[in-house]
Amino acid sequence: MRLAKLMAQRGLASRRKAEEMIAAGEVTVNGEVAVVTTPVDPASDVVTIKGQALPDEPDRVYYLLNKPRGYITGRVDTRDRQTVLDLVQHLTVRVEPVGRLDYDTEGALLFTNDGDLAFGLTHPSRGVEKVYVARVEGRPMAEDIVAIERGIPLPDGPTAPSKARIISRGERSSVIEITVKEGRNRMIRRMMAYLGHHVMDLRRQTFAGISLGQLRLGRTRALTPDEVAGLQMLAEKPGPKSRTRSKPKLKAGSKPKPGSKTKPKTKAKPKPRPKPKSKPKPKPRPKPKPKPKRKPKA
């Protein structure tokens, strides 16, 4: 097992943070300073972090937070802003946010100490759906919905086809729902800006099938067993299968490359044309019978 994965399982840090701790020389395995690629066996190896023994594996916990605006998704901020971890200090187990949510965006944000689940849900190959509700300036039209569904060209590449629908239209602003499977930075805001509609308010209503429901802003709730089971299925879902390339077809008469097992197609021999049937000879016309000579009258 990879050392960073073990540390994440024990609730010490996310995988990325654990790798940073290992690279900084804060972790030892059997008395030797570890590196990121050091394999570890939890049953036999002795792991210490900053001189402290690796804690026992805690029970897995899963929570949903309705994140308010004005909080960053992280533990430390160089600008001394509030973090989402300030909102989960009442939890008795160390948890990490699953993915990120912009500073100015509110809504659904999952927390867990299950590193494998968090890794699976945020991996691009899983295509986890995220539903956003945005209040935008102006009145988006049908052609804007079509553009979102086809993909918006952004500087870092076009967006994948998404779902969209207009919830309401007003004189100065409208409300639109957008469902995406990507997790780019400020993606919804940039998509709407391209279409000429500034985002005034943005809320993530649903993440990986877990919806806010009646959860109040800034509050948390534990996920139900059914919700956790659904997340585990999404996290373990394999990525899209790679397409197998079909063998190139050889043109008639061309030779295959050396080592190729493809047999060239040979031209089919033309079938011999059937000989035309001879026309039957016409039957000779019968000769007309001579007319009897008339006897002269006496």
Contact 109, 65 (CB under 8 A): yes
Q: What is the residue type of 287?
A: K
Phi, psi of 32 (to 5 degrees): -110, 140
Q: What is the DSSP letter of 150?
A: H
Per-residue pLDDT tens over the stretch 169-187: 998 999 999 999 998 999 9
- DSSP β-bridge partners for residue 174: 136, 169
Lowest mean pLDDT among 48-62, 104-118, 240-254, 273-287: 240-254
Say what the pLDDT of residue 239 is.
Answer: 54
Which long-range contacts does 277-284 make (Cβ < 8 Å, 24+ apart)?
Answer: none
Per-residue pLDDT tens over the stretch 27-55: 999 999 999 998 999 889 999 999 999 88
Is the pLDDT at 25 greater than 90, yes or no? yes
Structure-token pair, residue 155: 């500087």
Say what the pLDDT of residue 245 is.
Answer: 43
pTM for the full model? 0.69
Say what the pLDDT of residue 187 is.
Answer: 96
Rounded CA gap, 177 and 166, in Å? Answer: 6
Rounded CA gap, 290 and 277, in Å? Answer: 38
Structure-token pair, residue 253: 């008469």
Structure-token pair, residue 183: 């997790």
Task: Indicate the SS3 state at residue 191.
Answer: helix
- DSSP β-bridge partners for residue 173: 137
Q: For the chain, what percent of residues have pLDDT higher than 70?
A: 80
Say what the pLDDT of residue 253 is.
Answer: 53
To 10 degrees, the CA torsion angle through 70, 201, 67, 131? -150
Rounded CA gap, 34 and 47, in Å? Answer: 9
Say what the pLDDT of residue 146 is.
Answer: 97
Q: What is the residue type of 245?
A: R
Structure-token pair, residue 22: 């290992």
Confidence band for 267, pLDDT divided at 50, 70 and 90: low
Is the pLDDT at 163 greater than 50, yes or no? yes
Is the pLDDT at 252 greater than 60, yes or no? no
**Active-site amino acid positions:** 102
Structure-token pair, residue 39: 């394999």
